[in-house]
Amino acid sequence: MLKKITGILILLFWLIMLGLLIDRAYIRPATVIALDVIAKEGVSSGTEWFGIYQQGRKIGYATTKIIPEADTYHLYEESVLDILVMGSVQRVKTVINSYTTKNFLLKYFDFSMQSESTSIKVKGVVLGKKLSLDIETGGQIRKEHIRLSESPYLSPNIRPALVLLGLEPGRTFRFPLFNPATMSMADTQVFVESKKQIKIGDQDQTVYKLNESFQGMTSTAWITSDGKTIKEESPLGYVLLQETPQEAVKLDKQGPVVDIIALTRIPSSKIPDSSKKTFLKAHLKGVPLNGFQLGGNQQILADNIIQITVKDPPSSYMLPYRGNELREYLQPDALIQSDHKKIVFQARQILSGERNSREAAKKLNEWVYASLIKKPVVSIPSALEVLNQRQGDCNEHTVLYTALARASGIPTRMVAGIVYLEDGFYYHAWPEIWMNGWVAVDPTFNQFPADATHIRFVTGNLDRQTEMMKLVGKLKVEVLEYK
């Protein structure tokens, strides 16, 4: 059981990590007033430090600074965070630099995320209506381009912009934001909830309460009118407090107090031999389901009742798939490098000339399952890095399988949702392959096809998986029937 639980933990672990990244580096305008007087007289340089806490125990720190440079502003942010997963402490460090116009719109940025075993670096520059990216992962630099419908913000760039617009209670602000952790554009909204006078030390201070929402995640910040952050609350009980540099870097020697597994389980009635189930009927409760991709293919949703029926792939075809309607599911991208020579070579080695799509997909499933060590890995997973490292959890298994399958000519997409395992449902990711109909498979557990307890919520790459944060701590599953 321990091995299987480890195999499905990492999606929620990654989501929480990304959530903290988003809160600290992308939507956190809590120190925006530190630029207080800003605007017309220019922005003064300054540095702030923060401690990151979980149930009262210091598990990380962050620092931010702003530096005026000629006709630009340079904004810098660094964070270090420890997370406990399956009894092992995982440490991740992120750094982001951005350079803006005098109006605080993005000009250039570089972002890095590093853990014990993996790293990713992303650099980007705005060129007119295009954002050009260099993504370095797995020893390769890949260029990508994103079309822009409006000028983007990044990281602390929105802070002075928010103040320029005015912190008035009851107002909501929208910012088009680029997220380098998922390499996607999305809107963030900042709602100024209230303003009141409180006593801080010996002084009366005006305090603003801000609610910040981005890709399904909501955090709250309390700030003073002179730019000091009193407190921030992030999803799942993480708290950030402003501290001196000396205080901020002193982490608790005992490390994180809550293992990530405590946050993953969705209780339900028992499903014996769940890996053999071909039909599931369940009632999904606790959260609005609009916007999720719960219907279609093997899933039927009606009145919050989900039914999943597993069938063998309807039919096969000779590789490569020739239809144009599924072209996007055969294409490489920044993290699914299906055109890289190492991926292509490995796919050919595995298949050994097999051209029947069903048999080829099954061989790939068995190879990925057998070739990857099952362990939590802090990463923004890329297929090339996973092929090099040969370890990881469901996201690593899924991204590598997707790349190998696409390289073999099998239209494949990534999905995320929940799966049952012995004592409840857990967050999970897996691929779906085109066999003249979409079919779920699971290389993390070597299931072909995947069992009926796989409930898909979103389809797409990592930028879509962040939507799963809307479910965490709220979703409830009542199992009604299975066979």
- Residue 21 dihedral angles phi and psi, to the nearest 5°: -60, -45
- Residue 403 dihedral angles phi and psi, to the nearest 5°: -65, -45
Q: Which ranges of the chain have pLDDT less than 70?
A: 1-45, 86, 155-163, 200-201, 215-216, 225-228, 235-236, 261-263
Which pLDDT score is estimated for 219?
81
Q: Give per-residue pLDDT as tens, 325-368.
A: 999 999 999 899 999 999 999 999 999 999 999 999 999 999 99
Cα separations in angstroms, 156 against 173, 183, 219, 297 = 15, 17, 16, 42
Q: How far is the C-alpha of 372 from the C-alpha of 391, rounded, in Å?
A: 5
The CATH number assigned to the domain with range 265-482 reads 3.10.620.30
How many CB atoms neighbour CB 240 within 10 A? 25
Q: How far is the C-alpha of 9 from the C-alpha of 452, rounded, in Å?
A: 19
pTM above 0.75, yes or no: yes
| Domain locations along the chain | 15-248, 265-482
What crossing angle do the helices spanning 341-351 and 357-371 adopt, rounded to 10°? Answer: 110
Which pLDDT score is estimated for 22?
42
Q: Give per-residue pLDDT as tens, 418-437.
A: 999 888 898 899 999 999 99
Which pLDDT score is estimated for 160?
64
Which pLDDT score is estimated for 236?
67
Q: Give per-residue pLDDT as tens, 220-276.
A: 888 776 556 778 887 667 888 888 999 999 998 888 877 776 667 898 999 999 999
Q: Which of 301, 297, 248 is nearest to 52 (CA)?
A: 248
Which pLDDT score is estimated for 1?
32
